[in-house]
Each structure stands twice: as C-alpha cells, then as structure tokens.
Amino acid sequence: MKDTLQEFKELKNIDRSTMISVLEDSFRSVLAKMFETDENFDIIINPDKGDFEIWKNRKVVADDELENENLQVRLSDAQKAVPDLAVGEDFTEQVHFEDFGRRAILNLRQTLAAKILELQKDVLYNKYKDLIGRITTAEVYQIWKREMLMVDEEGNELSLPRQEQIPSDNFRKSDQVRAVVLRVDNTNNNPKIILSRTSPVFLQRLMEREIPEVADGSIRIVKIVRLPGERAKIAVETSDDRIDPVGACVGVKGGRIHSIVRELRGENLDVIPYTSNTNLFIQRALAPASISQIHVHEESKTAEVFMRPEEVSLAIGKNGANIKLASLLTGYQIDVYREGDGDDIFLDDFADAIEPWVIQALKGIGLATAKAVLEADPKLVAEKADLEDETVDDVRSILAKEFE
C-alpha cells in the first residue's frame, strides 16, 4: 500500500490524503452493500505502515433480544471477548476484510478502480480548466482524418482537431507540438481537452513569449484577426511615447517576429498601430494600399474606400485576404472602388431625388457613385440590384442631368 500511494502521487498526480480518502470510501461502499450500512464501521488506514484496520461497532443486547446481527451482539458472545461487558454498552471488534471472501475483494477492486478513474478525470479537468488560453506542448501520439491525438508529459490525452490546425501543418508521430488550450469539454464527467493553433489567442501568446514589451504590458494587443497560415493583422498600442509599438514588435530586420512566423507556417503578420480615429484606422488596416477618399457610415458600420486603379489589387490582396482581415480588424464592412476620371458624385448626395432604398440597392452591387451607375449596363443593374427597369431608367436620368 505504501508503494502504491507513492505511485499514485508520482504517476497520476493524486496526493496521499486524497488517495486515502478514496480508499476509505471504497471500503465503505463495499461494506454498505454487504451489511446495508457502513455507519457502524471504523476504517483506519496506516499509510506509513502500509496497512489498514477495520473495526465493527455493535450494541450489546440480551441474548433473547437480538434483532440485527450487524448492529447488535448477544451479551454471551460479547463477554467471550470482554468478560465485564453489560447490556447497552458498545462492543468493538476488529474484522479482516479478506475473511469476507473473494466476491467482496473483487467488488472492492472494481469500486476502487472506478473511484480512481473518476478522481483522475477530476484532476485532469481542474488542471486544464486553469490552463485555458495558455500554450502547452505535447507529443503527437496518433493522427486521424478529423483530429490529432497528443499526450502531455503526464500521459494525459489532448485533442487537436483538424479545423484547429494550420492548413499547412504536417506533423508525424512523436513530434512535439505547441498549441493553446482552447477549451475543456466535460460531457458526462469525461473531460476532453481541445487545443488550437488557429486561434488568435495562440498568436497573442507567441507574441508575449517573443516580445518583452508585450509580455510586460508596455505594448497592448488591441485585437488580432487571422486567416491561419496565410495572413494576420494585429492592432497594437502603447501609452509610452518612447516606444514605437510596431517597431518593437517587428524587431530589427524582423528578428523578433521571425520565430513566430515560422511557428505559424509562414503566416504573414501585419502589425498596425491602433487609433480610435475610424477613418485613419481603416486606412492603416488596408495597408499596403494607399487610399484617396474614404466615407464611413457609423450606423451601418460600412466604409466606402476610393483609390487609384493600381492600388485596388493591393487593398483586396491575394484571394481577398487583405480586405477581409481589414474588415474583421476594424469591425466595418469595407467596399473598395476605383477612382473614375474627372469629378464624380456619391449616390448619397442624391438622397433628395432618389429613394434611399434604391441608393442602398445600387451600393449593394458595388455602384456607389453617379458615374459608376451611368457606365454600367442598365439591364444588368436592374437584374443584380433587383430593381424595375423603369426605376433604373429614372435613376440614370436624374444622374445624367447632373453632368449635362
């Protein structure tokens, strides 16, 4: 028993006092099944000696008044052990568990195994519940189509689902993998630890490890948005005028951020200085593209951005990644438009002549200016914006008069 208790402490992270309590509960559970109650039993576990004792307490009754052998003992039987006992006194005797037979011992073993398993689950759940949002390192144990099973240094199983892996991740068995603890599911007291490498929190924790100013709070990460493995945008700020938040994060020649990029499988990281000025923040979020004009609509959380034709592809980015991340970072739906030749007029300036819902329908298909509508095919405009042909003709007539 001594060796076993030490083993549980070292291998299963269960301390001695807890294990003794579980052992006593297991004995009581079996005794209760055998005798209908365990209240009249004292169980003494001696971990230092490596043994245990069970004592049974019964009330002494007259020989002809015995009703329950488990709770009472005949006076004549009790006096064989303690001659001076009298009716009404307590009689205590030691019992040996092995005398209860093979079935009781097997029952104890099963009960103890079940309680230890439940205890292990509780220990695992409580450990990782406190680690949510922190990085952990584990070894790849098995790879399936939908998830990857890993084990930590204590042999606990952790799950890294496919959707939480960076698309270019390619791990093999026994590889050491870093990920953030995303959540701990505990359905039917069966904890499952879910890890993630795609969560913005994973990138934030990596930055805290690699960039001292982020770790000590001199630089605050306001928001992170990611397209895992492709691109990420990080808004940062500082209250210390002596610190350049972007330069500090990137480091000399990108030295500080290189290891993070490698961990994220080459994910491009754009570090952007945060500002509460919405127009300026949207312009910064769309970098490296340069903006000519911007119109922000606070109520609808939308922004119309105009730029030279050669800047549009930069603003949109590969597969639309740049504009998508800029929208996520700023919280505004950003629509990019090419600048036309000569003076143009926004449709919103015609609100007194054109119904607002018609203007919104046209803007919804990317036509935000008068010239954009006039240059588009009227039939296609009516079809895409779900407008009557007559409505489109009326709108074109109103707009055309402005340029006569």
pTM of the entire predicted model: 0.68
For 73, the enclosing helix (H) or strand (E) is strand 72-74
pLDDT tens for 214-255 read 999 999 999 999 999 999 999 999 999 899 999 999 988 888
Q: What is the mean pLDDT of residues 135-154?
A: 94
Q: Provide the β-strand partners of residue 334.
A: 303
Q: Under CATH, which number does the domain 199-274 receive?
A: 3.30.300.20
- Confidence band for 9, pLDDT divided at 50, 70 and 90: low
Asked if residue 113 has pLDDT above 60, the reply is yes
Query: Which of 156-170, 201-215, 249-263 shows the lowest mean pLDDT across its residues?
Result: 249-263
Q: Under CATH, which number does the domain 2-126 receive?
A: 3.30.1480
Residue with tokens 């000696």: 49
Mean pLDDT of the chain: 89
In sequence order, the 6+-apart residues with CB closer than 8 A to the CB of 365 are 381, 384, 385
What are 217's two structure tokens? 């709070």
pLDDT tens for 70-81 read 899 999 999 998
For 207, the enclosing helix (H) or strand (E) is helix 200-210
Q: What's the confidence (pLDDT) of residue 12?
A: 63
CA distances (Å), 127 to each of 97, 123, 153, 216, in order?
35, 6, 13, 25
The conformation of residue 65, written as its DSSP 8-state character, comes to G
pLDDT tens for 254-293 read 888 999 999 999 999 999 999 999 999 999 999 999 898 8
Architecture of domain 132-198: Beta Barrel (2.40)
Backbone angles phi, psi at 105, to 5 degrees: -70, -40
Asked if residue 8 has pLDDT above 70, the reply is no
pLDDT tens for 22-43 read 888 888 988 888 888 889 999 9
